[in-house]
Structure 1
Amino acid sequence: MDFAIGGLAASGAALFSNPFDVLKTRLQLQGELRARGHHAVFYKNVFHAGYVVAKNEGIRGLQKGLSAALVMHGIRNSIRLGTYQWLNRNGYLTDSQGKTILYKSAVASAMAGAAGAFFGSPLFLIKTQLQSQAAATIAVGHQHGHSGPVEAFMLIYNKYGITGLWRGLSGTLSRAVVGSSAQLTTFAITKDALKETELFKGNPMCSSLVSSIVGGVFQTVLMTPFDLVSTRLYNQGVDAKGKGVLYSGLIDCFFKIGKSEGFFGFYKGIGANYMRLAPHGALCLLFWDYLKDLQIRYVEAIPQKS
């Protein structure tokens, strides 16, 4: 049940956050491997990007890749949140007073995040490629031309085999390890601290909301460079053997971005990324806490056998 709750919470949150994911992807791909001032600028910022996408592709353009995103978030977070909750519920992450132990939480959330990222990677690949597809006048990055998630899955599998579906795995694993450990650890520690204050005593939903916002800030700042690299690895074109034509792997991608776009190139789309992560993280963790409470109440309501 812990795993189903985690997946359901994340899928529900993705309904609201996916438009910002589309905008973030476009901003991250804009000016790929080009210095500032040496490429066309279709998207000036997250708000302008939203206007441009809606104008050229309609409101539906803001929800590109939604079906793949819903399934992907469900798979990733059923594993990530389910594993973390199981470890926490069995006392592996807390001390004798029930408070979160920092290093144990960080390690557990990183490992759980990596496991979720591995199994969700094919859908993350497809989601990214669908979100990058744009009207010709505002297109950035490689355009794969998929008609939908099922067609994309079959095309990639038929041309490049099972390994083609896991292309770019190194990027999403590093992204997940950093992002998950930052989010879940700061969420748990902030929530522990708020429990000690008079303002939040007896108000668990409010403390969960505040804690998730704090977690979102840390997650965004630490994860954005890895998220950008992951987007680039997933979206790049490939040769006949399925090898990337721009980047050979994680380290090569970091090196080329740093050399061509500079330090701030790693933070392209950070505004859109926070506007995606903040509501997604807040809603996901809020739904997660709410569903966990419902589970506890349901278990307590079941008559116990003597």
Structure 2
Amino acid sequence: MAGSPLYLVKTHIQAQSAAEIAVGHQHQHRGMVQALRQIWRAQGVAGLWRGAGSAVPRVAVGSATQLSTFSSAKDIVDQLAVFPAGGWRVALVAGMSSSVAVAVAMTPFDVVSTRLYNQPVGPRGEGLLYRGVADCFARTMRAEGILGLYKGLGACYFRMGPHTVLSLLFWDQLRRLWACYGQR
């Protein structure tokens, strides 16, 4: 929630393009600070958090998927006995499995979040295209089908996959080191 204004501005600026190739709504920002000021002046403090309601479910789904699939995948890899039980290779394979699940689970929320953050707003700061998370999901499904919610899945995986794999691998190894040496 605290970083939501920066995510809002990032989305606005990344969606900007030259008029001849513009797609979707274009916010005319010259930079981060100017964008924050412009949004604050036009919509007040609440305008800086417009779209934040979509970020919370996105992160919650991602975190829940990441942790639950990592634990389950570790158990399965250990049971298969392909690698020594509890070793770093088990954590690596489990992290790789978890990263795929995270990308599949989070991409629909990423699509909705991006659309909510980038939509044009009315004079009172209300979204002109979507009323909220559920409305955006429903409209996207009606207009584009289930695949509309998975736009950018590959890019999502390549952005979050390495982070997920490395975070879980290091976390698992640090947890093991703590169990061995940290309780002395």
TM-score class, shorter-chain normalisation, is: 0.7 to 0.9
> Given that residues 194 and 200 in structure 1 are in contact (C-alpha distance below 8 angstroms), is that contact kept between their aligned partners in structure 2?
no
SS in 1 for 2:3: helix
Report what 1:125 is aligned to: 8
Asked whether 1:199 is paired with 2:83, we answer yes
1:153 counterpart = 2:71:
no
Q: Distance in 1 between the 2:150 and 2:156 partners?
A: 9
Deviation at 1:161, TM superposition (A): 2.0
Residues paired across the two proteins, number: 182
**Gapped runs of 5+ residues in structure 2?**
none
Correspondence 1:223-242 to 2 at 5 A: 223-242=106-125
Unaligned runs of 5+ in 1: 1-117
Write out per-residue CA displacement over residues 2-39 of structure 1, whole angstroms, 9 at most, x where no aligned residue. Answer: xxxxxxxxxxxxxxxxxxxxxxxxxxxxxxxxxxxxxx
Does residue 274 of structure 1 match 2:166? Answer: no
Residue correspondence of structure 1 range 1-306 to structure 2 within 5 A: 118-195=1-78, 197=81, 199-201=83-85, 203-204=87-88, 206-289=89-172, 292=174, 296=178, 300=182
- Runs of 4+ in structure 1 deviating by more than 6 angstroms, as ranges, are none
1:268-302 Cα deviation digits (max 9, x unpaired): 22222222221232233345456x469949x849x
1:185 maps to a residue whose letter is: S
Q: What displacement does 1:143 show?
A: 1.8
The one-letter code matched in structure 2 to 1:158 is R
Provide the rounded CA distance (Å) in 2 between the counterparts of 1:122 and 1:295: 38
Q: Distance in 2 between matches of 1:294 and 1:161?
A: 48
State the 1:216 CA deviation: 1.5
Which secondary structure state, in structure 1, belongs to the residue aligned with residue 100 of structure 2?
helix
Query: Structure 1, residues 82-128: CA drift from partner, whole Å, max 9, x if none?
Result: xxxxxxxxxxxxxxxxxxxxxxxxxxxxxxxxxxxx23322222222
Counterparts of 1:152 and 1:200 in 2: how far apart (Å)?
A: 53
Q: Distance in 1 between matches of 2:167 and 2:30?
A: 29
Alpha carbons of structure 1 residues 208 and 202: separation in structure 2 relative to 1, 3 Å: closer
RMSD (Å) for aligned C-alpha atoms = 2.8
Return the structure number with greater relative CO, CA threshold 8 A, min gap 6. 1
Alpha carbons 2:83, 2:90 under 8 Å: kept: no
Counterpart of 1:184, as a letter, is L
**TM-score normalised by length of structure 2:** 0.82
The corresponding residue for 1:80 is none
Deviation at 1:157, TM superposition (A): 2.2
Separation in 2, partners of 1:150, 1:293: 40
The secondary structure found in structure 2 opposite 1:238 is coil
Q: Percent identity?
A: 46
CA distance in 1, matches of 2:56, 2:27: 23
